[in-house]
Amino acid sequence: MHPDKAARLRALQRHEERLQRRITHLDARSNRYSWLRVLVFAVSLISGLALGLALRWWLGLLSVALGLILFSVLVAQHRRLESHLSRLRLLSRLLHDQQARLLVDWQAIAPLPGGRDLYDSDATHPFDLDLDISGPRSLHRLLNTATTREGALLLKSWLLEEAPDLATIQRRQALVAELTPLRLFRNRLQIEAHLAGGASGLARGSQLLRRLQQEPPKARLRQDLTYMGSLNLLTLLLLAGQLTLHLPPWWLLSAALSILFFLLRRGDAGDLFDETFELQRACAQLSAIFAYLERRHFPQQPLVQQLCCPFSQSESNQLSPSQALHRLSLLLSLASFGQNLLLTLLLHLVTPWEFLIALRLEAWKARLLRHLPRWLETWFELEALCSLATFADLNPDYHLPEFIPPAEAGTPFLYEGQGLGHPLLPPASKVVNDFTLRQIGSIAIITGSNMAGKSTFLRTVGMNLVLANAGAPVDAIRLRLTPLRLFACIRISDALTEGASYFYAEVRRLRALLDTAERPSSAPLLFLIDEIFRGTNNRERRLGSRAYLRALATTGRRCAGLVATHDLDLTQLAEEIAGINNYHFREEVRDGEMIFDYRLRPGPCPTTNALKIMRLLGLPVPETESDQDDGEQAATRRSADKSEAS
């Protein structure tokens, strides 16, 4: 493990240990408060009864009153202590989660918020499934610290971006660089969101927006308010007339008309009162989170200050975002009276309550809808950026990549990595390599034995490009590159449900790669291919592979990439086509055990290990290499004979 990362891990562990000691101490104090509350309540009740019966009743009441005052003070102090304990427990949980992310411990990393569908991969995406961008053990889950579904989805969209924009990437890099030192702010933001969500979790901002956009007809509401108010006024006047002028009880008729009118026209308020609880809960949650963002200022981080300016400016009629949401929450609490039908009917004898509240709510909803989308978008973007900043903070050995415009690089294609590592591998078992591609049409053919690290290296190159295009730090000592698109053919599923074989699915995927390479774009394409045409026989695989790679290297497509293969015949292309170079991984056998160093070396692989693996696991293998060669030659002749016959 890198020394800086080890130091960060030790700091997290020490912090968590201190928190646990503090939590244990406060838990004991909380238990004492619980027993003290029971004792005070019992003593005040018993002493009150004793004094009241033995001396004076008012002495008993005084004793009970004093006991209740003391009990209330203890309850308030106990609640403050429990609130503090809740924050400490959440912080301890966050620190434990951060250690798991640093160590890539999938069992301990927090799940994604908002449902299982966030784990779904898109098999048609250029690199989602191939590079483990989505899924239970994915780059998205490793990075995500957002507490909202929308924040997690935004981060996922950044990781799956197909067309990189240099200005957007550089803005995100600058924001991540400013947020990385703000460890306390990031932790507090997560804690406030978890506390606001409670056991049921945070309400979805998109659902809140949809509910606020459900508007009953305002014109009809105003008519209802006028008619209902007139009937209420008439009822009050007739009631006053009976009480003062001894008129007949005509007010009962107007009251009955009021109730009838209310029951007939109550539906004009829409579903507003059916959803008051969910709306009030969502507003209260957002108000608490926005209030924290309003209190924060970033004098040393101008880009973060600019991003958070919607929370520092009063844009909703001189009210801050939290105040505006709190005002709406109060109106919704008044609207909740409508859930009690008896109380509602009594209210509408003298006042047009629901129609009045509905109009006030519609006015506030219209005011909020002008600003709430921007507040939510800012919060979701801040959550996604904090995920990248936490990733940078937990991995001090990672670095922000250096994007170079093609004019400055002297070439439209550049990928130059020093110390490239796989971000999903635990740091204790990770091996890093240097790698460079400098020209369009360049192809690195990577050969090597089984389990030597070819596929892992393809994912290493691809994942670091994904991180770079998202604006995140990369698992490298240094990465210099021009803006690049990405396409991977590494994990191809057998589309049996579509009636397609593995080979047909592979051919379609490779056709999609060619189409993507031919698509007009300012950014060239980096492609990654693992075991090309593995779904067919040896002879046709070799012919097809040579033709396909020749087409990628020589037909003017704006692309370059890496091809991992067991087929050593493909290494001969390096002698035939300029720009194709050979690399390999190798292994050693020591004391009957295969040892891999996972180091990338130039040139074709000089060794193979399939028969060694078969022999180590007790499978039958050829006695001599000549037996193997004879079998291969016979199979080749039979294949050729069948081809000629057809």
pLDDT band with cut points at 50, 70 and 90 for residue 250: confident
| C-alpha distances out from residue 76 to 58, 81, 156, Å | 27, 9, 43
With beta carbons less than 8 A apart as the criterion, state whether 325 and 296 touch.
no
Most confident of 221-225, 259-263, 313-317, 404-408: 404-408
Residue-range domain boundaries for the chain? 1-103, 402-608
What was the pLDDT predicted at 496? 45
pLDDT band with cut points at 50, 70 and 90 for residue 123: confident
Identify which of 190, 213, 21 has the alpha carbon closest to the alpha carbon of residue 94: 190
Integer-rounded Cα Rg, in Å, for the chain is: 35
What was the pLDDT predicted at 412? 85
Instruction: Encode pLDDT of 441-452 as tens digits.
Output: 899 999 988 788
Angle between helices 276-295 and 321-335 (to 10 degrees): 160
pLDDT band with cut points at 50, 70 and 90 for residue 313: low
Compute the distance between CA of residue 19 and CA of residue 27 in angstroms, rounded to an integer: 12
Spatial neighbors of 393 by CB under 8 A, at least 6 apart, are: 8, 180, 181, 183, 186
pLDDT band with cut points at 50, 70 and 90 for residue 628: very low
Instruction: Encode pLDDT of 9-50 as tens digits.
Output: 999 999 999 999 999 999 999 999 899 989 988 888 888 888
pLDDT band with cut points at 50, 70 and 90 for residue 127: very high
Compute the distance between CA of residue 211 and CA of residue 271 in angstroms, rounded to an integer: 9
What percent of the chain has pLDDT above 90?
Answer: 39
Q: What is the chain's mean pLDDT, rounded?
A: 83
Q: What tokens does 111 get?
A: 């799940």
Kindly give the residue spans of alpha helices, DSSP state H, lying in 55-148. 57-103, 139-143
Residue 422 has pLDDT above 80, yes or no: yes
Which one has a higher pLDDT value, 466 or 337?
Answer: 466
Identify which of 515, 516, 514, 573 has the alpha carbon closest to the alpha carbon of residue 543: 573
What was the pLDDT predicted at 276? 64
Identify which of 366, 209, 379 has the alpha carbon closest to the alpha carbon of residue 294: 379
What was the pLDDT predicted at 641? 46
What percent of the chain has pLDDT above 70?
Answer: 82
With beta carbons less than 8 A apart as the criterion, state whether 465 and 486 touch.
yes
What was the pLDDT predicted at 618? 60
Compute the distance between CA of residue 309 and CA of residue 148 in angstroms, rounded to an integer: 21
Compute the distance between CA of residue 514 and CA of residue 269 in angstroms, rounded to an integer: 57
Instruction: Encode pLDDT of 206-240 as tens digits.
Output: 667 776 666 555 556 667 667 777 777 877 787 78
**Averaged over 504-531, what is the pLDDT?**
89
Specify the residue for token string 């569908």.
117
Instruction: Encode pLDDT of 289-308 as tens digits.
Output: 888 998 888 989 999 999 99
Instruction: Encode pLDDT of 172-213 as tens digits.
Output: 999 999 999 999 999 999 998 888 876 555 656 666 777 666
Residue 625 has pLDDT above 60, yes or no: no
Angle between helices 166-179 and 454-470 (to 10 degrees): 90
Spatial neighbors of 347 by CB under 8 A, at least 6 apart, are: 337, 353
Q: What tokens does 198 get?
A: 């409670």
Which one has a higher pLDDT value, 468 or 639?
Answer: 468
**Averaged over 50-67, what is the pLDDT?**
82
Which one has a higher pLDDT value, 95 or 643?
Answer: 95
Residue 120 has pLDDT above 70, yes or no: yes
What was the pLDDT predicted at 588? 76
What was the pLDDT predicted at 607? 65
What was the pLDDT predicted at 636? 40
Q: Which CATH class for the 402-608 domain?
A: alpha beta
Compute the distance between CA of residue 126 and CA of residue 133 in angstroms, rounded to an integer: 11
What was the pLDDT predicted at 557? 80
| C-alpha distances out from residue 416 to 173, 174, 462, 481, 602, Å | 19, 21, 13, 6, 16
pLDDT band with cut points at 50, 70 and 90 for residue 493: low
Which one has a higher pLDDT value, 503 or 489?
Answer: 489
Residue 436 has pLDDT above 90, yes or no: yes
What was the pLDDT predicted at 137? 93
